Amino acid sequence: MDKSKINVKQVIEEIKAPALIFVGMLGGSLGGKALDKALKVDPSLAGFNPKAMAKPVALLSSGIAGALLLKDQNLKLVAAGVAASGIASGVKVLLKKDLLSGFDGLGDANQLLIAEAFDTNLPELSSGDYQSLEVEYPSEESNYDEYEEVQDVEIL
């Protein structure tokens, strides 16, 4: 069989791992929402909310336990997704920022495509009395292979 050809089975095998992790994250998110609803967690409360920490702790611990205790590799990937969902919800609770919502700092997407016009009105140089300086060039007899080591340097 030629190794350079890619068949459908190989493609499915490569897509399977990220898909199973995504399924675990989706399941963890849905389970976490159900847990928040059961505990009546209010996300609008300012400050640290101990009830809100139940979801990340439950998701992370169940994901880690599943990854350690399950034998099937596919189920281990799903459990890793549940643990990842727990990490994302923990960050959301602690930092009040959702990792999965994208970047807020970019501003309006339409503004990113607008370029400012270049200002061609440059300031004029003042007409001054500029002095010419004579440049000294080393002589051909200079030996650059010899050097003198500098011991002290004074900074004024």
pTM here is 0.56
Closest CA to 77 of 143, 11, 24: 24
Tell me if 118 is assigned to some domain: no
Question: Is residue 29's pLDDT more than 80?
Answer: yes
Tell me if 60 is assigned to some domain: yes
* CB 97 within 8 Å of CB 60: no
Mean per-residue pLDDT, 32-56:
80
- Provide the mean pLDDT of the chain: 78
> What's the number of CA atoms in the CB half-sphere (13 Å) around residue 29?
13
Tell me if 113 is assigned to some domain: no
Q: How far apart are the C-alpha atoms of 65 and 63, rounded to whole Å?
A: 5
Select, from the ranges 35-39, 44-48, 68-72, the one with the highest average predicted confidence (pLDDT). 68-72
Question: Is residue 33's pLDDT more than 80?
Answer: yes
Residue 46: give the domain boundaries: 8-100
Question: Is residue 153's pLDDT more than 60?
Answer: yes
Tell me if 120 is assigned to some domain: no
Tell me if 62 is assigned to some domain: yes
Q: Which two tokens stand for residue 34?
A: 């159900």
Tell me if 43 is assigned to some domain: yes
Q: How confident is the model at residue 99 (pLDDT cuts 50, 70, 90)?
A: low
- Which range (3-17, 99-113, 133-147) has the least confidence? 99-113
Tell me if 153 is assigned to some domain: no
Tell me if 110 is assigned to some domain: no
**CA distance between the termini of the chain:** 75
* CB 60 within 8 Å of CB 90: yes
Please write the tens of the pLDDT for every residue from 107-152.
555 555 555 667 777 777 666 666 777 777 777 777 767 767 777 8
Q: How far apart are the C-alpha atoms of 12 and 7, rounded to whole Å?
A: 9
For the chain, the domain total comes to 1
Place of tokens 């500029």: 130
Q: Which two tokens stand for residue 19?
A: 């898909």
